[in-house]
Amino acid sequence: MNTPDAPCFRLNPTVRWLFAATLALMGVGLLMVYSAGMSADPSERFVMFQRQIVYVPLAVGVLLVAMRLPYQWLNRWYVVLGLLALTVVLLAAVLRFGAEVNGARRWFRFSLGAFDLSVQPSEVAKLCLILCFAWFLSRPGDHVRSFLRGFVPLAVMLAIVCGLVARQDLGTAVLLGAVGAVMMVAGGVQLFHMATLVPPAVAAMYVLIVYEPYRLTRLMTYLDPWKDPEDAGYHVTQSLMAIGSGGWFGRGLGHGMQKLGHLPEDTTDFIFSVISEEMGVAGAAMVILLFAVVVLLGLRVVGRSDNRFAMLTALGIVLWIGLQAVINIGVATAALPTKGISLPLVSYGGSGLLLTAGALGVLMSIAARTAELNSVGDDRAAGTMTLPGMRAA
């Protein structure tokens, strides 16, 4: 039994399964980015894939490095505050200097020789916010229960980051808000303190919708996407047509038609629709189950964690991945209003994929250094896979 203060690294079953599910999702992603890259014009084919084939190994590398590094290194005030400052600066800067795509400034573009790298600061913001909250909420003492010393700093931090993100990307802001709020509750902030957040959040949403009329259109479209399938409802209806074309078992890998210029954002926000068309409900359910494996194993790490920082960090990461997947799939299936949000690990994207992999690396780092998870592996013969959901005898 390792002491909580100096837990040693072990590739316990939880880590292995997490790693396997993560790799599987990235593999599905790579496959579907390749498939969706088909085009009638040879010069347009597989543009995204050519980058993704580089990003995926990079992401696996980042994941492996993050897993080996002790997560406790992140539990330092200078690391956390530094990250927070970096996030705020990046978020503010992107609004001014970012490249504009489809009317929104969300990316920084760097050109590294022949290779274009896009960095989305809101992706950085997600991980930083989670670490900040985990650090703040896990500091020793009773300040969390206090309104002024506990609730207010967190609420202000959340408001600043969400506010900056919301300027261009409401979906991510909502995601961040949800992750932050759940972390606060799990971290011990009083519920009636939390309740004071509701009126300003509602007011902020109202203002954002009023000032950006396209958001109202999106909401109306959500209610009836078939009302205007050529314009406002275009994305959703095309996505539904892809899902409908797929049927139960799909048209077969590579046989999708919707990805050929009918379905927009087919490598990013609507890659789930491509999966549905080519692999059917069966394949889509497999992807959902893979996410379920990641989320439920992550929650297992949360439940068995040795300390509050580990628990809150793991919780934040799980919420991030899980909620983002749910929102993306919900949008693609018209269960939620349209949001420009990608499917973690699967969608094409450089910075998003690297940061998601890094976050999962941190989660695995925690899992690999959690005494209770490691002890489960001790009971089993080495080399045999153990179902991670099984409790220790």
Cα distance between residue 259 and residue 277, in whole Å: 9
Q: Which of 161, 306, 344, 367 binds another protein (CB under 8 A)?
A: 306
We find the least distance from the C-beta atom of residue 16 to another protein, in angstroms, to be 19
Q: Which of 42, 230, 383, 387 binds another protein (CB under 8 A)?
A: 230
Q: Which residues of 3-25 are buried (b: 16+ CB within 10 A; e: fewer)?
A: eeeebeebebbbbbbbbebbbbb
Q: How far from 343 is each of 313, 324, 346, CA to CA, in Å?
A: 21, 7, 6
We find the least distance from the C-beta atom of residue 102 to another protein, in angstroms, to be 6
Cβ closest to another protein, residue 335 vs residue 385: 335
User: Is residue 254 close enough to count as binding another protein by CB under 8 A?
Assistant: no
Cβ closest to another protein, residue 87 vs residue 328: 328
Q: Which of 1, 6, 40, 148 binds another protein (CB under 8 A)?
A: 40
Cα distance between residue 56 and residue 106, in whole Å: 22
User: Angle of helix 121-138 relative to helix 350-368, nearest 10 degrees?
Assistant: 30
Which amino acid, residue 299?
L
In this chain, which stretch among 253-261, 338-346, 349-357, 378-386 interacts with another protein, using CB under 8 A? 253-261
State residue 255 phi and psi, 5-degree precision: -95, 5
User: Is residue 39 close enough to count as binding another protein by CB under 8 A?
Assistant: yes
User: Is residue 245 close enough to count as binding another protein by CB under 8 A?
Assistant: yes
Q: Compose the 98-127 pattern: x for residues touching another protein by CB under 8 A, - for all others.
A: ---xxx------------------------
User: Is residue 375 close enough to count as binding another protein by CB under 8 A?
Assistant: no
We find the least distance from the C-beta atom of residue 171 to another protein, in angstroms, to be 17
Cα distance between residue 347 and residue 268, in whole Å: 5
User: Is residue 204 close enough to count as binding another protein by CB under 8 A?
Assistant: no
- Contacts of 46-49 with C-beta under 8 Å, sequence gap 24+, read 48/267, 48/348
Q: How many residues bind another protein (CB under 8 A)?
A: 62
User: Is residue 316 close enough to count as binding another protein by CB under 8 A?
Assistant: no
Sign of torsion, CA 313 75 158 214? negative
We find the least distance from the C-beta atom of residue 364 to another protein, in angstroms, to be 17
Beta strands in 73-198 (DSSP E): 99-101, 104-112, 115-119
User: Is residue 335 close enough to count as binding another protein by CB under 8 A?
Assistant: yes
Cβ closest to another protein, residue 70 vs residue 330: 330
Dihedral-angle region of residue 188 (phi above 0 means left; psi in -120 to 50 means alpha; beta otherwise):
left
User: Is residue 291 close enough to count as binding another protein by CB under 8 A?
Assistant: yes
User: Is residue 367 close enough to count as binding another protein by CB under 8 A?
Assistant: no
Residue 108: alpha-carbon gap to chain centroid: 19
Cβ closest to another protein, residue 128 vs residue 301: 301
Cβ closest to another protein, residue 217 vs residue 386: 217
Q: Which of 143, 285, 375, 386 binds another protein (CB under 8 A)?
A: 285
SS3 (DSSP) at 354: helix
Enumerate residues 164-193 that contact another protein by CB under 8 A: 182, 186, 188
Cα distance between residue 148 and residue 156, in whole Å: 11
Q: Which residues of 365-392 are buried (b: 16+ CB within 10 A; e: fewer)?
A: bbbbbbbbbbebbeebeeeeebebeeee
Q: Which of 144, 197, 317, 329 binds another protein (CB under 8 A)?
A: 329
User: Is residue 252 close enough to count as binding another protein by CB under 8 A?
Assistant: no
In this chain, which stretch among 61-69, 88-96, 145-153, 277-285 interacts with another protein, using CB under 8 A? 277-285
- DSSP β-bridge partners for residue 111: 116
User: Is residue 258 close enough to count as binding another protein by CB under 8 A?
Assistant: yes
| Cα Rg, the chain, nearest whole Å | 21
The pair of structure tokens assigned to 249 is: 């078992």
The footprint of another protein (CB under 8 A) covers: 4, 39-41, 44, 47, 101-103, 182, 186, 188, 230-231, 234-235, 240-245, 247-248, 257-258, 260-262, 264-266, 276, 281, 284-285, 288-289, 291-292, 295-296, 299-300, 302-308, 311, 315, 318-319, 322, 326, 329-330, 333-335
